[in-house]
Structure 1
Amino acid sequence: MRVDLFDFELPPERIALRPARPRDSARMLLVPAAGDFSDLIVSDLPGLLRPQDVLVFNDTRVIPAQLEGTRGEARIGATLHKRIDLRRWQAFVRNGKRLREGDRIGFPADVAAIAEQRLPDGSWILAFEGDEPVEVLLERAGRMPLPPYIAGKRATDEADRSDYQTMFAREDGAVAAPTAALHFTPELIAALDAADVQRETLTLHVGAGTFLPVKADDTTEHAMHAEWGRIEAETAERLNAARAAGGRVIAVGTTSLRLLESATGEDGVIRPFAGDTSIFITPGYRFRAVDGLMTNFHLPKSTLFMLVSALMGLDRMQAAYAHAIGNDYRFYSYGDSSLLLPLA
């Protein structure tokens, strides 16, 4: 499909620079398969779900993966993208043309890395020096990797260390938050428990590639960056049992949805999964694992807007986004939410 079909105009003031407080007071647009949209708030969620429905959360934890350093007189910026092994990460590098393989980059707090290899897509493999775990080094020298549409408008600050982390964050490795789950609070979870809504977790370490624009003219020409994920055997078993009993599987966030779909066969059975996925979901895709999606509002011409258009239909999502823009919804990572239900 032509990428320009997924374009729309978003007024700059609709981009949220801070989250709602409390988190579950954010607005939420209910988008059914047909009929009117409903303007709600996230804390209304328990009343929209049925007993035995299952919400699936991503328990990845965002690491302070953005580094500013020097190689000689050259200033070098690095955003870690994907772990390769205990000491090496793939990174998008600003001013990377000033690097040569073997160069040493010095970062604050006595942290340093060797520019080991330049990859065909322009990113670099960085090998961190020393014996301390890389996560410890990043806590000392790194910053939270806010999306460019926020970082370009204000500086990262201490509040972002908690604001840009979900209450489910447990597994270190993401360089972008699974932002749909930023809206959840202990109070909302208690209300969902009281409504007998089930919940499961999986892990998908979100990479910085999620923010890269689609530069191709046609979706068939776009290559997705791989991200590592895991679904435990017991989790897959419980999800399959819930669907067999008539419960709906509602992915909280596109990251959860992408991993669930990667782990599900043509027979509709969710299987254990551990490895990379580069699944790219566009209109025409047949969904096998999920019955709905809770997600924030996404960028024009992004792979995520293509995904929600695949779930609900492009015309339906264009209408939903027009409604959201016209009714002052807040967009992107710190913005408002939507609940997409393609089935009754």
Structure 2
Amino acid sequence: MYNLSDYRYNLPESLIAQTPCEHRSLSRLMHLDRRSHDISHRRFLDIADLLRPGDLLVVNDTRVVPARLLGHKPTGGRVEVLIIDYAAGMKHLADTGRFQCDCLIRASRRPEPGTVLELGQDITATVIEHRDRISVVCFNGGNDFLFRLKKSGKMPLPPYIKRDQNPGQGAGTPAQMDEQKDRQDYQTVYATAEGAVAAPTAGLHFTEDLLAALSAKGVDVVRITLHVGYGTFVPVRVKDIRDHQIHSEYFIVDEQAAEKINRARGAGCRVIAVGTTAVRTLEFCTDACGRISAGQGRCDLFIYPGYRFKCVDAIITNFHLPESTLLMLISAFYDRERILDAYKVAVDEKYRFFSYGDAMFIE
């Protein structure tokens, strides 16, 4: 269970969702029962029937920023810059007046330190240094940079979601229309805390009406924050997964949230994490006695089989990439072989996979 190859499965490319379900809560839902090992097939809307009065739903309220910038080098060659640690950039801005953080740079030839990049309308940036595959980039404009980023930046969709790379001219081009739609679709309805460079995708299935129905049933909702960064999606490049070093991501659990979670656990209520980002944050902040502490900082918890869960009782999640740390996490929560069996069923039943795909409820 520690070999990277233990987390492979076959997935037809046609099952990788390119767009979300037209109505969020009508996406499909696979229900896994960890006691009976039964698998049932539902719509996400049915989560209201599966949750119980007293359950506590923990959601990640991070909001995706348009962190992908297209432009060119001084030579005229094309360049793409992806901001991968927005939270660190905001801290650097507060401390120094300059937005500077780790980025990924795509170009025919990686620009040398000191190179000034032209990135969209009124944005320039200077390459500071390179560290392996990551580059440190400083953006011009101080606080004005944030306004320019929201205007010129593109949503940082995962590479398996294909979009027209030629923006064309005018607001009515297909690429422009895709971008505007993704700016809505690639956010949860409760996203408020700006800072993620990828969506906590399990939450994309919720609507305001569904949340209201859950509240009416007696299901409580609490918000925590984990600004999803590049680390969640870095490919595992070691044969033994225990040798993988996961990147850290910035989190916030406030006093009110911690108190509500501890109160629910003390009353014997289930704590249900919406997404692997919520799982990692909850488990990172929970002590050996099962009590969660408020705080903020960097979460670098890597969960894989053998991990003993201290807080989370059930998980709502999407279907994850082969050999990914996210697949390892849910394998730790249930059982690696049974999870892979469930994924085979999902393929046979033609579920839609990954960020814009269908969901799974493991209880």
TM-score bucket of the superposed structures, by smaller chain: over 0.9
Residue identity in the other structure for 2:45: S
Alignment of 1:79 onto 2:90: no
Alignment of 1:102 onto 2:114: yes
Residues 1-344 of structure 1: pairs in structure 2 closer than 5 A: 1-33=2-34, 34-73=36-75, 74-83=77-86, 84=88, 85-86=92-93, 87-95=99-107, 97-119=109-131, 121-151=132-162, 156-341=178-363
How far the C-alpha of 1:97 sits from its partner, in A, is: 4.5
How far the C-alpha of 1:133 sits from its partner, in A, is: 4.1
Residue identity in the other structure for 2:43: I
Residue identity in the other structure for 2:11: L
The 2-side partners of 1:35 and 1:286 are apart by 20
The 2-side partners of 1:152 and 1:137 are apart by 22
Contact 1:27 1:329 in 2 (8 A): yes
The 2-side partners of 1:97 and 1:288 are apart by 46
Residue identity in the other structure for 1:325: V
How far the C-alpha of 1:243 sits from its partner, in A, is: 1.0
Residue identity in the other structure for 1:300: P
- Could you say what secondary structure the match of 1:243 adopts? helix
The 1-side partners of 2:157 and 2:3 are apart by 29
Contact 1:79 1:91 in 2 (8 A): yes
The 2-side partners of 1:277 and 1:133 are apart by 29
After superposition, what is the alpha-carbon deviation per residue over 1:243-266, rounded to whole angstroms, capped at 9, x for unaligned? Answer: 111110000000011111110111
- Could you say what secondary structure the match of 2:179 adopts? coil
Residue identity in the other structure for 1:129: N
After superposition, what is the alpha-carbon deviation per residue over 1:73-95, rounded to whole angstroms, capped at 9, x for unaligned? Answer: 23221111003222112111112
Residue identity in the other structure for 1:214: V
RMSD, aligned α-carbons:
1.4
Listed as ranges, the gaps of 5+ residues in structure 2 are: 94-98, 166-174
The 1-side partners of 2:163 and 2:244 are apart by 25
The 1-side partners of 2:32 and 2:341 are apart by 10
Contact 1:147 1:211 in 2 (8 A): no
Moved more, 68-77 or 325-334: 68-77
- Could you say what secondary structure the match of 1:180 adopts? helix
Residue identity in the other structure for 2:83: L
How far the C-alpha of 1:152 sits from its partner, in A, is: 6.5
The 1-side partners of 2:63 and 2:305 are apart by 30
How far the C-alpha of 1:281 sits from its partner, in A, is: 0.5
Listed as ranges, the gaps of 5+ residues in structure 1 are: none
- Could you say what secondary structure the match of 2:258 adopts? helix
The 2-side partners of 1:104 and 1:136 are apart by 20
How far the C-alpha of 1:195 sits from its partner, in A, is: 0.8
